[in-house]
Structure 1
Amino acid sequence: MLSDLARSTNTAEAIRYAMTRWASLCRLLDAGTIEVGNNAAERSIRPIALGRKNWLCAGSDKGGERAAALLSLIEPATLNGLDPETYLCDVLTCTADHPINRVGALFSWRLAKEDN
């Protein structure tokens, strides 16, 4: 079938594309829960991509590291349906007295489960 089509036609290119990714396409059909696209991942990193130019003005490498640390707390809280400001206030006020071996209790996904 592919040999009957001119190599440069759009149809031939689409068929070649599908044939080189055949295993992935079959996996997609076998497991009905796999997303067809990566829109959810792209939406989740959009704030990072949009803020990238702003972070160039972090002032120093240490400022950039602090911004990254805060974002690693804020983004999971947002994804878990928590208000990031409230979450940060709660976590930062209790960390001084919180036992280090129970730090996992402060993860945003655990706190989100407790709220539900």
Structure 2
Amino acid sequence: MLDAIEKLMVEQRPGVVPQSLLGKALTYLHGQWPKLIRYVENGNWPISNNPCENSIRPFVVARKNFLFADTVAGAHASANLYSLVESAKANGIDPYRYLTWLFQRLPLATTVDDYDALLPWKLPANLR
């Protein structure tokens, strides 16, 4: 079926006005063709990326809110805190528990290894 669609696309595209609706559709199809083929060749990939889109939606909303911060430093602080909360949620951790645990240990961190140990996925299992 895909071979037939590709054949029609290749045959018809040169004779269609690029700015027409059909021309725009064929141009779009041509540009997306490698991705479509890649998807069809790997049956393990989900047909929808809605879970990914839904997971980044809070970041997009927050990014718009950061535009109205009083200062650049305030926007950076908000973004950093938001990133910590969303990282905790992405790892199945209650953000409040993680932030409580983090803020108790963060002042004691001095080395890269100390900071690495504070990542959300390193939260002890008994605190999750």
Q: Confirm or deny a common fold (TM above 0.5).
A: yes
> Are 1:65 and 2:83 an aligned pair?
no
Distance 2:26 2:65 in 1: 43
Q: After TM superposition, give the deviation of residue 67 of structure 1 in Å.
A: 0.5
Q: After TM superposition, give the deviation of residue 87 of structure 1 in Å.
A: 0.5
Residue 121 of structure 2 is matched in structure 1 by 109
Q: Write out per-residue CA displacement over residues 79-116 of structure 1, whole angstroms, 9 at most, x where no aligned residue.
A: 1111111111101101223452232222112327x358
1:40 to 38, 42, 51: 51
- Taking the TM superposition and a 5 Å limit, the aligned residue runs for 1:1-116 are 1=8, 2-3=11-12, 7=16, 8=20, 10=22, 14=25, 16-98=27-109, 100=111, 101-111=113-123, 114=125
Q: After TM superposition, give the deviation of residue 50 of structure 1 in Å.
A: 2.7
In the alignment, residue 41 of structure 2 is paired with which amino acid? D
Q: After TM superposition, give the deviation of residue 52 of structure 1 in Å.
A: 4.3
User: Would you say how many aligned residue pairs link Structure 1 and Structure 2?
Assistant: 113
State TM-score, norm by structure 1: 0.71
- Identify if the C-alpha distance between structure 1 residues 90 and 40 changes in structure 2 by more than 3 Å, giving closer, same or farther: same
Helix, strand or coil: the match of 2:39?
A: helix
Distance 1:26 1:59 in 2: 47
Distance 1:90 1:64 in 2: 24
- Identify if the C-alpha distance between structure 1 residues 60 and 13 changes in structure 2 by more than 3 Å, giving closer, same or farther: closer
User: Structure 1 residue runs of 4+, over 6 Å off?
Assistant: none
Whether the aligned pair in 1 keeps the contact of 2:88 and 2:95 (CA below 8 Å) is yes
In the alignment, residue 114 of structure 2 is paired with which amino acid? R
- Identify unmatched segments of 5+ residues in structure 2: 1-7
CA-atom RMSD, angstroms?
A: 3.0
Whether the aligned pair in 1 keeps the contact of 2:66 and 2:79 (CA below 8 Å) is no
In the alignment, residue 105 of structure 1 is paired with which amino acid? A
